[in-house]
């Protein structure tokens, strides 16, 4: 088998391997993200479940922001391997950490 054909076979094998994307829930209750610290992989989705009667955000300065309406959920699919600290724009004491690694 030529080297070129070997690469094609490998691409087929790895290309069809199932990707185990997960949804990770972070609950917001009484102005606290729980768990505060989450480890995830690229492709996973973070789902924030807001149990409070007012809106929150998950905000990364200079990057993304997710608005989480009262008594509702909001989600974000992670696309970048990075470790970030996030906070709520309305309640800056609310803090969380997200460590995203390559799949």
Q: What is the DSSP string of 10-64?
A: HHHHHHHSPP---EEEEEE-SS-EESSEEEEETT-EEEEEE-SSS-EEEE-TTS-
Closest to Cu ion by CB, 35 or 103? 35
Rule CB under 5 A: say whether 98 interacts with Cu ion.
no
Stretch that binds Cu ion, among 17-25, 39-47, 54-62, 75-83 (CB under 5 A): 54-62
Residue 91 near Cu ion by CB under 5 A: yes
Distance CA 91, CA 101 (A): 28
Q: In the set 10, 35, 90, 103, which binds Cu ion (CB under 5 A)?
A: 90
Contact 36, 24 (CB under 8 A): no
The reply on whether position 48 binds Cu ion by CB under 5 A is no
Minimum distance from CB of 77 to Cu ion (Å)? 22
- For binding to Cu ion (CB under 5 A), which residues are involved? 56, 88, 90-91, 94
């Amino acid at each position: 088998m030529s080297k070129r054909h070997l690469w094609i076979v490998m691409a087929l094998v790895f290309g069809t391997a199932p990707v185990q994307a997960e949804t990770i829930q972070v609950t917001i209750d009484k102005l606290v993200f729980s768990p505060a610290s989450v480890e995830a992989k690229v492709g996973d989705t973070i789902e924030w479940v807001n149990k409070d009667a007012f809106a929150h955000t998950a905000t990364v300065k200079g990057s993304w922001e997710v608005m989480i309406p009262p008594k509702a959920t909001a989600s974000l699919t992670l696309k970048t391997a990075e470790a970030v600290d996030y906070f709520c724009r309305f309640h800056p004491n609310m803090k969380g950490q997200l460590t995203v690694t390559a799949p």
